[in-house]
Amino acid sequence: MGPVVLIGSFIRNSLTSASDRDIGTILNAYGSRCGFTRTQDSPQQYGINANAQSTSVPLPVAVAIIAKNEAHNLPRCLASVRGWVSEIVVVLNDTTDASEAIAREAGAAVHHRPWQGYRDTKNAAVDLTHQPWVLALDADEEVSVALRAAIADFMRRPDLDSFGGARFRRKVWFIDRWITHGDWYPDLNLRLFHRDRARWGGDDFVHEKIECRGGVAQLRGDLHHYSFPTLAAHVAKINPFAELFVRAQQARGKRFSVVAAVTRPAWRFFRAYVVRRGFLDGFPGLYIAWATAFGAFVRYSRLYEAEQRQEPPH
């Protein structure tokens, strides 16, 4: 028995009041070690009307996607929305692969725009849509069958006009499983919104978010996210996000703090692995907790470097 399993066993045994749901979650997390295969999401398991999946009339929803060289991801994303939405808009920037051809083949309207940052580029994509409701997706995301049915049910609500948007969970596939605990799940995202009642807000760097007027519903079903096809792909993103963190901190006038550099990474690990039960995701859960902590340490270290770096004496 490896150290990861021993750690997980110790924490699980300390949860003396575990419910049947907790036990089921544990079995799911470690089922792959015993050769079991997990089933995919279905509308029925979420209590969603299964008949909502098949409709001959597309919903009054436009899908808005921004992308750069995403030919390897776009087919899956576009296939998950084709046929049941009224419009698909893909905005490309500095793209040199086959993304445009793939998008047009799927019936999408393709536009080329210069990069303006996440927030402004996403707003530009929304402005190019013509439907009353917008579903904002990234190229590495996929609308699950259950989420598709939940969106259809939501659009049929008699009180639809009282809502400005709807949020739902996002679930990441990492290494060998869906991650269903820790800092990566449930990761609620507001992605479906009325175009006249919402805009992308937040800062100019990486923390863009939808700001909307009116009620916000929470839908069942998950948005599937294939953000890291390999572990190396995750490691490669640590430094670019650290660069954005440094720029955002400098824009806010924030300075390096050794206390934050020490305590934030420690808290991020404890929160991800223990508080949010990342240990239930096996070794990938342990990696995510450590990598999240290390990423936080790199961000603050980069901020220190930006403030203190000097050229060596000659």
Residue with tokens 């929305």: 81
**Cα-Cα-Cα-Cα dihedral sign, residues 245, 248, 250, 255:** negative
pLDDT at position 19 over 80: no
Residue 270: the pLDDT is: 98
How far, in Å, CA of 56 to CA of 34, rounded? 42
Higher pLDDT, 1 or 220: 220
Confidence band of 202 (pLDDT split at 50, 70, 90): confident
pLDDT at position 172 over 50: yes
Residue 208: the pLDDT is: 86
Cβ atoms 151, 192 nearer than 8 A: yes
> Who's near 43: CB < 8 A, 6+ residues apart?
49, 50, 52, 53, 145, 146, 149, 150, 221
DSSP string, 254-300: ----HHHHHHHHHHHHHIIIIIT-GGGGHHHHHHHHHHHHHHHHHHH
Residue range 186-200, pLDDT digits in tens = 999 999 999 999 999
Q: Give the H or E element holding residue 87.
A: strand 85-92
Residue range 38-87, pLDDT digits in tens = 344 544 454 444 444 445 689 999 999 999 999 999 999 999 999 999 99
The one-character DSSP state at 129 is: -
Which pair of tokens denotes residue 136? 């904002």
Chain region(s) in the chain for CATH 3.90.550.10 = 44-225
Cβ atoms 261, 300 nearer than 8 A: yes
Domain 44-225 homologous superfamily, CATH: Spore Coat Polysaccharide Biosynthesis Protein SpsA; Chain A (3.90.550.10)
Residue 2: the pLDDT is: 52
DSSP string, 184-229: GSS--EEEEEETTTEEEEE-SSS-EEEEESSEEEEEEEEEEE---S
Residue 32: the pLDDT is: 37
Confidence band of 137 (pLDDT split at 50, 70, 90): very high
End-to-end CA distance of the chain: 55
Cβ atoms 42, 145 nearer than 8 A: yes
pLDDT at position 20 over 80: no
